[in-house]
Amino acid sequence: MEAFRAVLRDFGYVEGKNIRIDFQWAERVDQTFDLAKQLVDSKVDVIFAPTSTQVGPARRYGHRPIVFAQHADRVGLGDVTSLSRPGGNITGMSMLLTEVSVKELEILEEILPGTTRVGLLWNPTTPSHPTALKAVGRGAQTIGVELVPASASTVSEVQDRVQAMAHNRCNGFLVVSSPLYTVQAELVAELQTKHRLPAIFANRANVKAGGLVSYGSDLDDLYRRAAFYIGKIFKGATPAELPVEQASKYFMVLNLKTARALGVNVCPTSWPAQIK
């Protein structure tokens, strides 16, 4: 959030001086609806809903401007009319989850030679995941890999599903980006090591926690750009006139320590970024 705050400062808005940021945290998806209502009832000027998981609840109550930073399926879910003309009260940045997830499958198959079966951890409470699931399924057919989908929306389900992937003799697994899997980054990394199942993620925070590899958009950049939109709205712009922008910076990050522990042989010089 420091990158987010820095952009707001550039607009002349300093937290604690002339702007207040009211953070609301939900432990479960169903709690986001009550929190969104609280924000609307408190008459905030703008709602910052980072992902599609939070945008849905925010849309339900009133017409306050809503800005997102890493939406995965902005048009498909009906949150905006089009990228160039969002319409309504919502706009922001897109992380292209569906396309990125397919690329992640290709990367995992490349770094695990001989891969024939890949698990797919997805969250049924994340609105964009069904679309990503279908796209990854088509990608798996294209490269000749069997996909083993496993839905998990709670910590206990995550534990059970990764164990099931190991029992199903998956060579590795792909984790579709979801707030739950990011918050539980250390747990997912521990399960990866425990069951010796190399995993690929969209968020490099998962790799910092011990995951093997990630490929995804630069979230700091997306949050900066989302803050820029919020600054413009404070200055009088409306979401309807601010086009949805797509991620333009991507990182591939490898945890070399995890690679050695899992016996994954890679050539570090071929990777744009490494974490040792």
Q: Is the pLDDT of residue 272 over 70?
A: no
* Residue 219 CB partners (closer than 8 Å, separation 6+): 69, 70, 95, 203
What pLDDT, on a 0 to 100 scale, did the predictor assign at position 78? 59
Q: Is the pLDDT of residue 252 over 50?
A: yes
pTM greater than 0.85 (yes/no) = no
- Residue range 229-243, pLDDT digits in tens: 999 999 999 998 899
CB atoms within 10 A of CB 56: 18
Q: Is the pLDDT of residue 76 over 80?
A: no
Q: Is the pLDDT of residue 140 over 60?
A: yes
Q: Is the pLDDT of residue 128 over 90?
A: no
Separation of alpha carbons 68 and 146, rounded Å = 34
Give the relative orientation of helices 31-41 and 52-60 as an angle to the nearest 10 degrees.
50
What pLDDT, on a 0 to 100 scale, did the predictor assign at position 276? 46
Label residue 81 by pLDDT band (50, 70, 90): low
What pLDDT, on a 0 to 100 scale, did the predictor assign at position 83? 67
Separation of alpha carbons 66 and 51, rounded Å = 11
More confident residue, 77 or 120: 120
Separation of alpha carbons 53 and 68, rounded Å = 10
- Phi, psi values for residue 240, rounded to 5°: -60, -25
* Domains of the chain and CATH, by start: 2-96+218-249 (3.40.50.2300), 97-217+251-275 (3.40.50.2300)
